[in-house]
Amino acid sequence: MSDLNNIPESILSSNNFSLSLSGCYSGTHVYDLSTARCYFDSDKFDDTTRSNLRSLYDYFTKVKSPDTIVQPTGIMPPGVIHIDDSLIIFERPPSYQNIQLIPHLLENINYDKSDTIIYRLPIPWTIYFVTYSVYSGVHYPNSIAMYFSHNSLQSSDFSSTQLYLPPLCNFYTNGELCNPLFDSMDELNRYSNDIAGVINASYNWIWDTGTNVDLTMNIAEFIYQSRHNTDLRDNNPLSKVITSNLYPTTYYVDTSILNSFFLSWEKLSLQDVSSYSWPNPSAYKKNMQRIGQLGESLLHSYFDYHGIDADECREYNEEEDDFYYSYDELRYHEYVHNTLITPANFYDVYDRIVASSLADTPAFSKPSISNVVNNYFSSISAQSS
């Protein structure tokens, strides 16, 4: 039997509560929850009855109408696109945002010493995907993802809107924010305990909590994709400004490159910024898949060359619940570099992987909200099952 969390225990155990509907079948088909209504007329409608009825009502509301919002949303900012019981999508128009960059890794930050650099960046249309939960009646944002867009989602068709990866720190390469750290959950008390509160918290966590240089992978993606993504290369002036020998195996971008990147970005006009293209949010995943496949292929080639039984090298990592190969890494690298790929063309191989990933459709050439939303739903479904 599944975990019956939502039907009141008092109903399940007592079996005394039942819904009695009197329906006039021959006439107007008027239904009336007679029993409960009559509870109102008597003194039997106590808090327990009210609570039971409320629980049952909410329970069957979800069964019947999954899209029903159970409590008022609160006053939301304009731009809300979609709400359901675990996901909110909203957008904001182009605006200037101050990025407060502390040019250090988190572990090296000296909060007594202020060397924060502020960049005032023109930001295009932004679209936010926020998953949230309600625990003990309190709304909590879970994951927050943000993407750039050419225009308002409300003025366009869902399936045709292109979403782009924001080349900012604090974001992962799928567009998700690395949530800020707070000393306590009191941070949430600043916001109303409703959908509006989740929206405001999410927005503020992106733009008002400062940033360090722990996560610079999206700027790296911008640089990698500039070499192969014609849409990005031709439609964003920043792609010509930032050149680097950065290769796909490196996702840490030096602060000098970051500074140069953001200073150049500051010079873009707010009017034009929404017309520019930005990195593809789906490319990283595909790259990693292919790089992983390449690595696997190289490893097996090494095993074959040296007559090593691959199965004997497989070991189980209990902590990660996954298998890995145990082998002599030095010998492996010697093999790879001496036999298969020379240092000169090593990076070229990876570059070609990136290029082929970027060239694939539909993952790249027209990154669409449906792709992103599909990915989102599948990951959330996986979490909840």
Shortest spacing between CB 173 and other proteins, in angstroms = 21
3-state secondary structure (DSSP) of residue 142: strand
The nearest distance, CB 35 to other proteins, in angstroms, is 5
Identified binder of other proteins from the candidate list 46, 48, 85, 105, rule CB under 8 A: 85
Using CA atoms, how far apart are residues 108 and 208, in angstroms rounded to an integer?
21
**For residues 196 and 238, which CB has a smaller minimum distance to other proteins in the complex?**
196
| Region for 210 from its dihedrals, namely left if φ exceeds 0, alpha if ψ lies in -120 to 50, beta otherwise | left
Burial 169-185 (b: 16+ CB within 10 A, else e): bbbbbbbbbbeeeeeee
Least separation in angstroms between residue 349's CB and other proteins is 38
Pick the stretch among 71-79, 108-116, 141-149, 245-253 that binds other proteins (CB under 8 A): 71-79
Could you say which residues in the range 261-290 bind other proteins, by CB under 8 A? none
**Cβ 193 to other proteins shortest distance, Å:** 14
Part of the chain binding other proteins (CB under 8 A), chosen from 78-86, 114-122, 135-143, 341-349: 78-86
Give whichever of 80 and 270 is closer to other proteins, judged by the CB atom.
80
CB atoms within 10 A of CB 55: 16
CA distance linking residue 220 with residue 214, whole number of Å: 13
Contact of 356 with 349, CB cutoff 8 Å: no
Interaction residues for other proteins, span 173-232 (CB under 8 A): 195
Of residues 8-67, those binding other proteins (CB under 8 A): 11-13, 15-42, 45, 50, 53-54, 57, 59-67
What is the size of the binding site for other proteins (CB under 8 A)? 87
Q: Please, what is the minimum distance in Å from the beta carbon of residue 116 to other proteins?
A: 30
Query: For residue 223, how many other CB atoms are within 10 A of its CB?
Result: 24
Q: Which DSSP string do the residues of 244-296 spell out, in sequence order? A: ----TT-----HHHHHHHHHHHHTS-HHHHTTS----TTHHHHHHHHHHHHHH
Strand-strand pairing, 163-164 and 314-317 = unpaired
Contacting range for other proteins; rule: CB under 8 A; set: 2-10, 105-113, 215-223, 357-365? 2-10
What span, in angstroms and rounded, lies between the C-alpha atoms of 57 and 25? 23
- Least CB distance from residue 293 to other proteins, whole Å? 30
Q: In the window 86-115, what residues touch other proteins (CB under 8 A)?
A: 86-87, 89
CA-based nearest residue to 142, from 177, 174, 168: 177
| Assigned token pair, 325 | 């190969």
Q: Which residue number, 80 or 188, has a Cβ lying nearer to other proteins?
A: 80
- Cβ neighbours of 106 (radius 10 Å): 12
Per CB under 8 A, 73 contacts other proteins? yes
* DSSP conformation letters of 171-218: B-TTSBB-PPP-SSGGGGGGS-SSHHHHHHHHHHHHHSS-B-SS--HH
Contact 142, 117 (CB under 8 A): no
CB of 49 to other proteins, least distance (A): 10
Q: Which is nearer to other proteins, 13 or 317 (CB)?
A: 13
Nearest residue (CB) to other proteins, 148 versus 376: 376
**Please, what is the minimum distance in Å from the beta carbon of residue 37 to other proteins?**
5
Nearer to other proteins, 355 or 380 (CB): 380
Site map for other proteins, 320-359, x if CB under 8 A?
----------------------------------------
* Nearest-approach distance from CB 74 to other proteins, in angstroms: 7
Query: Under the criterion CB under 8 A, does residue 1 sit at the interface with other proteins?
Result: yes
Q: To the nearest whole angstrom, how small is the minimum distance from the Cβ of residue 195 to other proteins?
A: 8
Is 365 a residue that touches other proteins (CB under 8 A)?
no
- Taking Cα atoms as reference points, which of 152, 153, 151, 149 lies closest to residue 164? 149
Q: Which residues, numbered 141-160, are part of the site for other proteins (CB under 8 A)?
A: 152-155, 158
If we measure between CA atoms, which residue out of 364, 352, 38, 127 comes closest to residue 230? 364
